[in-house]
Structure 1
């Protein structure tokens, strides 16, 4: 058993770090969702902020955009020219994707400073791309409502998950190449 453990030590370390980080962050996020409700920032601060920033991006593209609380669905409604187009729900705020990203990077971590800098840069990039993604989805739904399912279920998830995958590849390649060169 000991030889098996030693043989797969790096795999076990990866799994424990990934699961440990993921579970801690998901627990903290669920506490935030349970206790972070606000009447001012409906339905929660982060989702509200994503909707607000998305509206600003849509307006920067020259559209007459607005947002308002969508109470039945605990979300924010996005509008162009007073036409309801999309709901920004908790799942659209990219926090769960960020948690997956962080857990993966931590599980392949090397030096604290390098890991922390990559995590902060990755979070900022994921968040910014998510705002742009939701804005572009809303604009696309305005112009092509007949393609709602394809845009919402395939194209726009592929953007955020594809970018996270590329960040992971960059991190693993960067860490393993440096590690091999140091050995």
Structure 2
């Protein structure tokens, strides 16, 4: 049994770090969301909406995000049309939690791990704002293609970028992989 644990130690350590960090970050995020009573938009989603609105106003000065009457999400108005809504799931925090958990599970020094996780999270956050802006612009022109645009194309792009960041992390910063190579 001891040989088994020694042989698979890197994999078991990866699993433990991943699940612990994922669980910890998810619980922290849920606590954060509960502080908003469930009937108001959380601060992160509000910020994503505000940043998206500012970028959209460069194209259409009348573009705006309007909080719905219950305060649970933002309605997106672009070219004087209702295009969609921004909800809590649009803020990319779940993607960032997954990204950070993976980085932590292949951690190196605290400083390197922290800086890469922080930089990657900021990049994913900003790319998510751009994703929202592009989805709104495209849906304004092609409203019948919502499923393919919102459900397939842009998730492929955002998860593809996260995957590339993971590969960069493993190939450039994770020491165990470079020792074995």
For normalisation by structure 1, the TM-score amounts to: 0.91
CA-CA distance at 1:168 after TM superposition: 0.5
Contact 1:38 1:45 in 2 (8 A): no
Q: Aligned residue for 2:144?
A: 146
- Report the equivalent of 2:28: 28
RMSD over aligned CA atoms reads 2.2
CA distance in 2: counterparts of 1:62 and 1:153, whole angstroms: 25
Q: Which residue of 1 aligns with 2:105?
A: 107
| Equivalent pair of 2:78/2:140 in contact (CA under 8 Å) | yes
CA–CA separation in structure 1 for the residues paired with 2:125 and 2:62 = 23
Q: Is the 8 A contact 1:37 1:44 kept in 2?
A: no
Query: In the alignment, what sits opposite 2:3?
Result: 3
The answer as to whether partners of 1:47 and 1:90 remain within 8 angstroms in 2 is: yes
Render the CA deviation track for 1:65-94: whole Å, top value 9, x for unaligned: 111112468211111133111211111001
Q: TM-score, normalised by structure 2?
A: 0.92
Q: In 2, Cα distance between the equivalents of 1:155 and 1:182?
A: 36
Tell which deviates more after alignment, 122-131 or 65-74.
65-74
User: CA offsets per residue over residues 149-178 of structure 1, 9 Å max, x none?
Assistant: 110110111121111111101101112468
How many Å separate the matches in 2 of 1:106 and 1:49?
26
Query: Hey, what does 1:128 align to over in structure 2?
Result: 126
Counterpart in the other structure of 1:14: 14
Q: CA shift at 1:181, angstroms?
A: 5.9
Total equivalences in the alignment: 181
| Partner Cα separation in structure 2 for residue 22 and residue 38 of structure 1 | 22
